């Protein structure tokens, strides 16, 4: 029995998460596994109900689970920059408390979706890379972090702090992945300006020597931002700090055609992981049943692979998604103007139906 804590969150979070659960239940039936799902309020809805974005009891439940499946948090209702509690604090606290320091964000371009990308199709062919984003350090967590009134007016400070071991461990995750892939690793930094990046680069150079079988490249974040669009095929594994990873993975989503199809896995030293689509809560379309559930469904596939050690089941879900896209199912974010679309639940149903037909080879 696999225990999965489900944190649907805000906006479209609950809608897309429902579909991922549908798919996991279908996986259970087809492959003979039992999942125990338990839902808890998290993010803005938890602030409304309990005054905090993450309750201590929810955190305790997460620690005892095999995996956490998350929707998304935040929204205009909780967006006041002066608000004392914010939904995002719950997300950051969860990542920190569960020590999931490596955030895997695969970027794969489905050939059928090339037309949904703003880039020319010939640039997109064969794009398949993964960003490993450091998730529990850097600018997001360094202290001091505050706003105050100084005699000359309001001021604010954020601190980018990295300890050597925090850099080394996330780079090692990248090297492990590179060894299972095309053996190329791009370490991204801003070593021409930032002290944290200079430390990052030194450590990456040391680790490069430890991994002679992997081709290591050190790249500056600004030029990488451009290279992701001009030569996306040339990347295999990219490793970068928290802030750079937040920005470049949204950029990379443009390659895939939509943020809606992008999954992620947040991993630490053990098996417990947090799985979430990288899109946000999309308040503009929340509650309409039109959100794309594929990012959440593909996150569930990563959950099967990384936390439950069920690679065959994970591959089956991914194959089912590929089939559904090949068959022409498109949510609104993916459909060319004027083309027919399916809603969130219909997309989830289509993946469940495709899962039943995925051939034995993919099992």
Active site members:
140, 190, 222, 246, 250
Q: How far is the CB of 93 from ligand IPM (least distance, A)?
A: 11
166: contact with Mg ion by CB under 5 A: no
**Residue from 19, 241, 246, 333 in contact with ligand IPM (CB under 6 A):** 246
16 binds ligand IPM (CB under 6 A): no
How many residues bind to ligand IPM according to rule CB under 6 A? 5
Q: 185 Cβ partners below 8 Å, 6+ apart?
A: 171, 174, 175, 178, 208, 211, 214, 215, 216, 217, 236, 237, 238, 239
Report if residue 128 touches ligand IPM, rule: CB under 6 A.
no
- Does position 91 interact with ligand IPM (CB under 6 A)? The reply is yes
- Tell me which of Mg ion, ligand IPM, none is bound by residue 217, counting a contact when its beta carbon lies within the kind-specific cut-off of 5 to 8 angstroms: none
258-297 binders of ligand IPM (CB under 6 A): 278
Instruction: Residue 91: name its binding partner from Mg ion, ligand IPM, none (Cβ under 5 to 8 Å by kind).
Output: ligand IPM
Would you tell me how many other CB atoms lie within 10 Å of the CB of residue 300? 29
User: Which of Mg ion, ligand IPM, none binds 313 (CB below 5-8 Å, type-dependent)?
Assistant: none
Degrees (nearest 5) of the Cα angle 129, 135, 138? 115
The pattern of x and - marking residues 232 through 271 that bind Mg ion according to CB under 5 A reads: --------------x-------------------------
Joined together, the tokens standing for residue 352 give 């469940």
Q: Does 26 bind ligand IPM (CB under 6 A)?
A: no
Per-residue CA distances from 325 to 137, 228, 294, 354 (Å): 36, 24, 10, 10
Least CB distance to ligand IPM at residue 231 (A): 24
Q: Which does 88 bind (CB under 5 to 8 A by kind): ligand IPM, Mg ion, none?
A: ligand IPM
- CB-based contacts of 280-283 (< 8 A; 24+ apart in sequence): 280/11, 280/72, 280/74, 281/9, 281/10, 281/11, 281/12, 281/13, 281/71, 281/72, 281/73, 281/74, 281/75, 282/11, 282/12, 282/72, 283/10, 283/11, 283/75, 283/76
Q: How far is CA 142 from the centre of its chain?
A: 22
Kindly list the residues in this chain that would bind ligand IPM in the complex (CB under 6 A).
Answer: 74, 88, 91, 246, 278
List of residues contacting Mg ion (CB under 5 A): 246
């Amino acid at each position: 029995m696999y225990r999965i804590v489900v944190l649907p969150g805000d906006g479209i979070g609950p809608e897309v998460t429902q579909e991922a659960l549908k798919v996991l239940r279908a996986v259970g039936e087809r492959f003979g596994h039992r999942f125990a799902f338990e839902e808890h309020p998290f993010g803005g809805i938890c602030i409304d109900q309990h005054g905090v974005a993450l309750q201590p009891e929810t955190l305790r439940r997460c620690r005892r689970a095999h995996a956490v499946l998350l929707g998304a948090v935040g929204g205009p209702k909780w967006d006041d920059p002066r608000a004392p509690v914010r939904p995002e604090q719950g997300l950051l606290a969860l990542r920190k408390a569960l020590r999931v320091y490596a955030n895997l964000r695969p970027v794969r371009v489905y050939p059928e979706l090339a037309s949904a990308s703003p880039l020319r199709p010939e640039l997109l062919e064969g794009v398949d890379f993964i960003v490993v984003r450091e998730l529990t350090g850097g600018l997001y967590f360094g202290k001091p972090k505050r706003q105050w009134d100084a005699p000359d007016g309001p001021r604010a400070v954020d601190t980018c702090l990295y300890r050597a071991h925090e850099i080394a461990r996330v780079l090692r995750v990248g090297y492990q992945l590179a060894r299972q892939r095309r053996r190329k690793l791009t370490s991204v930094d801003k070593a021409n300006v930032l002290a944290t990046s200079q430390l990052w680069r030194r450590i990456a150079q040391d680790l490069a020597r430890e991994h002679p079988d992997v081709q290591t490249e050190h790249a500056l974040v600004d030029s990488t931002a451009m290279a992701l669009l001009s030569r996306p095929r040339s990347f295999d594994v990219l490793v970068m700090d928290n802030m750079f990873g937040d920005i470049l993975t949204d950029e990379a989503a443009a390659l895939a055609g939509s943020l809606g199809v992008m999954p992620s896995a947040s991993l630490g030293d053990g098996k417990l992981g947090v799985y979430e689509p990288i899109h946000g809560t999309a308040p503009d379309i929340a509650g309409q049943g039109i959100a794309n559930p594929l990012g959440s469904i593909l996150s569930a596939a990563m959950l099967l692979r990384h936390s439950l050690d069920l690679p065959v089941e994970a591959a089956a879900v991914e194959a089912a998604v590929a089939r559904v896209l090949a068959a022409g199912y498109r949510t609104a974010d993916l459909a060319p103007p004027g083309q027919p679309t399916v809603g969130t639940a219909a997309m989830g149903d289509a993946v469940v139906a495709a899962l039943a037909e995925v051939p034995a080879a993919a099992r």
